[in-house]
């Protein structure tokens, strides 16, 4: 019998924490009083167990539950439900981390490319990678394509749609994808280095898969998806269906204050197939703390059974001037995402973009 070990931060008094932890175990498994469970097999193999309780801070305890893997049905949506379904409605509970048995790691598989695959695709063996975003929303396909070509000519590795760009009337997906991919190919031909364009896939599962097939026909190699927006199940199914794409995971709608960012963005998105995971960097316009960023990057990159490491992508108000600081903080296995700071250069956009590329040790 395989078990998942899930850790929660639980606000409780010392004299009540054991009872509260046992209630949490029942809530996250059978949702009924233990005495009402008459079948001994269910008691032994389905009811969650309290595996540990230890103080965390002045008001909370770290509670570890063992959840039966069988209850997940090896389905990502049901897995999420068993980990944090009902207890997400209890404001004294925070999901802090999860350890999965090898069988689940193998079932979901993790990144298809990961850090090593991304490096190979852009032709950069050691240095940090560069990434930027096509903005602003409201721009035409032609405007976005011209911007894409400017960034590509400057030597930026990955050029993604801003996540707010979807399939709007002013930049329909099909027109935008074709135009921006053609621009990336022209830049690659001019510079002699790979330029990766990643369109944003947003919408219903049918629409996402339809646009992914169009992207495939255009020769596009990478895509941007927001797992929490499109649905974790849809995200996992997309990775399984379109394994040829590098998948950049965007954090939109992922700001649940009671799920650890390091676990959600660093581990869970990685488990479901994100090759790179974007998150708000410390010191940015809506930042996590340095400790959270360090933990998140560590969770994305650390050894984890058969799961490939994913590339951390700190973002959100970053500037070219902070590149040396970011490299010192994260090391070489990082993709730095700078958008607005480049676009603010106006007529000097090309030179500003080249400065970004030079700052990480690249260049064309």
- Going from N- to C-terminal start, the domains of the chain cover 3-107, 114-359
The token duo for 301 is 């990159």
Based on the number of CB atoms within 10 Å of its own CB, is 91 exposed (0-12), middle (13-18) or buried (19 or more)? Answer: exposed
Q: How far apart are CA 129 and CA 118, in angstroms?
A: 9
Residue 332 has pLDDT above 90, yes or no: yes
pTM beyond 0.85: yes
Q: What is the mean pLDDT of residues 321-337?
A: 97
What integer is the mean pLDDT of 81-98?
Answer: 94
- pLDDT tens for each residue of 189-242: 999 999 999 999 999 999 999 999 999 999 999 999 999 999 999 999 999 999
**Superfamily assignment of 3-107 in CATH?**
RuBisCO large subunit, N-terminal domain (3.30.70.150)
The conformation of residue 288, written as its DSSP 8-state character, comes to P
How many beta carbons lie within 10 A of that of residue 264, not counting itself?
Answer: 24
* pLDDT for res 317: 82
Residue 168: predicted pLDDT: 95
268 upstream amide cis, omega within 30 of 0: no
- Residue 60: enclosing H or E segment and its boundaries? strand 60-68
Assess whether pLDDT exceeds 80 at residue 287: no
DSSP string, 90-152: -TTEEEEEEE--HHHHHHH---SSHHHHHHHHHT-SSSPEEEEEE--TT--HHHHHHHHHHHH
Q: pLDDT category, 1, cuts 50, 70, 90?
A: confident
So what's the architecture of 114-359 in CATH?
Alpha-Beta Barrel (3.20)
pLDDT for the residue 256: 63
Mean pLDDT, range 316-325, rounded to an integer: 92
pLDDT band at 362 (very low <50, low <70, confident <90, very high): confident
Query: If residue 336 lies in a helix (H) or strand (E), which one and from where to where?
Result: strand 335-337
Strands (E), 145-202: 158-161, 196-198
SS3 category, 264 = helix
CA-to-CA distance for 69 and 1, rounded, in angstroms? 8
Whose structure tokens read 């059974």? 305
Contacts of residue 273, defined as CB under 8 A and 6 or more positions apart, other chains included, come to 108, 109, 110, 111, 112, 235, 236, 238, 239, 240, 247
| Average pLDDT over the chain, rounded to an integer | 95
Average pLDDT over residues 1-19: 95
């Amino acid at each position: 019998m395989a078990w998942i070990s899930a850790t929660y931060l639980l606000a409780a008094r010392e004299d009540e924490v054991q009872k509260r932890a046992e209630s949490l175990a029942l809530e996250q498994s059978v949702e009924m009083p233990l005495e009402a469970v008459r079948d001994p097999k269910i008691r032994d193999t389905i009811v969650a167990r309290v595996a540990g309780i230890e103080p965390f801070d002045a008001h909370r305890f770290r509670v570890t539950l063992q959840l039966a893997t069988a209850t997940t049905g090896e389905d990502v949506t049901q897995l999420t439900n068993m980990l944090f379904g009902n207890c997400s409605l209890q404001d004294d509970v925070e999901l802090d981390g999860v350890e999965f048995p090898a069988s689940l790691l193998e079932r979901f598989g993790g990144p298809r490319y990961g850090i090593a695959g991304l490096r190979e695709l852009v032709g950069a063996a050691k240095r940090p990678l560069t990434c930027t975003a096509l903005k602003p929303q409201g721009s035409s396909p032609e405007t976005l394509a011209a911007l894409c070509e400017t960034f590509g000519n400057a030597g930026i590795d990955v050029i993604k749609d801003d996540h707010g760009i979807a399939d709007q009337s002013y930049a329909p997906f099909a027109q935008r994808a074709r135009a921006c991919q053609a621009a990336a190919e022209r830049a690659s031909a001019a510079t002699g280095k790979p330029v990766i364009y990643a369109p944003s896939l947003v919408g219903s599962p049918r629409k996402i898969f339809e646009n992914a097939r169009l992207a495939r026909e255009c020769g596009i190699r990478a895509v941007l998806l927001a797992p929490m927006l499109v649905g974790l199940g849809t995200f996992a199914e997309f990775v399984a269906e379109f394994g040829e794409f590098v998948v950049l995971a965007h954090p939109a709608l992922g700001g649940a204050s009671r799920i650890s960012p390091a676990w959600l963005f660093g581990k869970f998105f990685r488990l479901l197939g994100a090759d790179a995971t974007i998150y708000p960097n410390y010191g940015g316009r809506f930042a996590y703390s340095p400790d959270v960023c360090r933990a998140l990057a560590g969770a994305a990159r650390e050894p984890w059974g058969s799961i490939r490491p994913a590339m951390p992508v700190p973002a959100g108000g970053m500037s070219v001037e902070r590149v040396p600081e970011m490299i010192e903080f994260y090391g070489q296995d990082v993709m730095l995402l700078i958008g607005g700071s480049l676009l603010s250069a106006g007529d000097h956009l090309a030179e500003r973009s080249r400065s970004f590329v030079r700052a990480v040790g690249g260049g064309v």
